[in-house]
Amino acid sequence: MAAAKVAAPRISPLTLDGLRDEPSPDFQRGERYDGIRFNHAAADGAELSGADFIECDFNGVSFNEAQLRGATFRDCILNEPYAPVFPAARTSWREVEISNPRWGSAEMYEGAWHSVRIDGGKLDFLNLRGSKMMDVQITGCIINELDLGACTATRVVLKECTIGTLDVTGAKLKDVDLRGSDFRTINGIGGLSGVVVDDYQLSLLAPLLAGHLGIRVV
């Protein structure tokens, strides 16, 4: 029997042209920033709730404790963003590329992710609880705790990632590909419906699945 096909994320390469440099940006709540290159800028503690970033390039920008609630990132590239504390609840990310993020606690719950790619990096806690995700690829990332509880996700790939704890409690998943990634603990095993795993991962999941279904192995 032929193996079922897994729908891959639909992500196109992002190219930004004609950007203007902003050496000393004045970050403000609710402002629109369009076609700007931010090079090693500091947005630490800035009030950026509701701000719109359109076709912007962030290179080595620090967002520690920047208030980003409800902000929008569209057609943006973020290279080595840094934030021990990243308060970004209900943010919208569309056509975004993120390379080597260094985030401690990333509070990004109830957000919207569409056509997002993350390559590399290390995150202590990525909270995406209640978010809606479509066409997302995360590759080569170390995440100590990934919370996808109550998340709706379609065409999402976690490739060659190392995940400490994955929480999928109450998640609604479709074509979520976990093959090739390592997990230490999975919470909410019933929320794994709709994921794709490899044979090795299935063998590790067997005791959790048996416990969830009330199966005793003697």
pLDDT of residue 213: 62
Residue 26: pLDDT above 70?
yes
Q: State the chain's maximal CA–CA distance in angstroms.
A: 67
pLDDT digits (tens, 9 = 90+) for 166-178: 999 999 999 999 9
H or E stretch at 104:
strand 102-107
Could you tell me what percent of the chain has a pLDDT over 70? 94
Find out whether 105 and 122 touch, Cβ atoms under 8 Å: no
**Exposure b/e, 164-192, CB count within 10 A at least 16 = b:** eebbbbebbbebbbbbebebeebebbebb
pLDDT digits (tens, 9 = 90+) for 145-164: 999 999 999 999 999 999 99
Instruction: Please state the rounded mean pLDDT for residues 118-139.
Output: 98
Write down the mean pLDDT value for the chain: 93
For the beta carbon of residue 10, count every other beta carbon within 10 angstroms: 10
Say which residue the tokens 């067997």 belong to: 206
Distance CA 32, CA 120 (A): 28
Residue 72: pLDDT above 70?
yes
Residue 64: pLDDT above 80?
yes
pTM of the model: 0.91
Spatial CB neighbours of 214, under 8 Å, sequence gap ≥ 6? none
Phi and psi, residue 201, nearest 5°: -60, -40
Q: State both tokens at 144.
A: 């100590």
Distance CA 104, CA 188 (A): 23
Which residue type sits at 32? R
pLDDT digits (tens, 9 = 90+) for 82-93: 999 999 999 999
Find out whether 42 and 22 touch, Cβ atoms under 8 Å: no
